[in-house]
Amino acid sequence: MLADEDLARPQVEAAWSARKSMGQKPAEPAPLLRDWTPAVDMLAGVVDRQGATISSIYAAQGVKPPKIRPLKRPETAFERLYRQLEEREKKRIHESIVSAVLPNRDTD
């Protein structure tokens, strides 16, 4: 059900209308939902905690800790469609700005 885009589409569009200004999601592809097992979830949690521990050790020594990003989680159909709507909206805004600044230029 979480991977079904037809079921997620109405929810995404409602959330999109309510929150256009959400932050941009990372561009890297997320792992597939079908491959995300409870064991993989626990291992990802361990890796994330290990990264937090490494950062804490650096900070305790007075050194700026490295930025360690948590592992990517699977992307549901809702999140995927929401991201697509965000991208379309950004492109529409960009094209409107380009046409206002450069009125004789085509925007493809």
Whether 80 and 107 map to the same domain: the answer is yes
- Greatest extent of the chain over all pairs of C-alpha atoms, in Å: 58
Distance CA 46, CA 50 (A): 6
Confidence check: pLDDT of 54 > 80: yes
- Of residues 65 and 31, which shows the higher confidence score? 65
Q: Where are the alpha helices (DSSP H) in the chain?
A: 5-18, 38-60, 77-101
pLDDT of residue 43: 95
Whether 22 and 44 map to the same domain: the answer is no
Nearest to 12 by CA among 77, 105, 57, 106: 77
What's the Rg (C-alpha) of the chain?
Answer: 19
Whether 86 and 101 map to the same domain: the answer is yes
Whether 54 and 67 map to the same domain: the answer is yes
Mean per-residue pLDDT of the chain: 82
Q: How many separate domains does the chain show?
A: 2
pTM value?
0.52
- Of residues 79 and 15, which shows the higher confidence score? 79
- 11-15, 29-33, 91-95: which is most confident: 91-95
- Residue-wise pLDDT tens digits, 22-35: 554 434 667 888 88
Q: 102 lies in which domain range?
A: 1-30+76-108
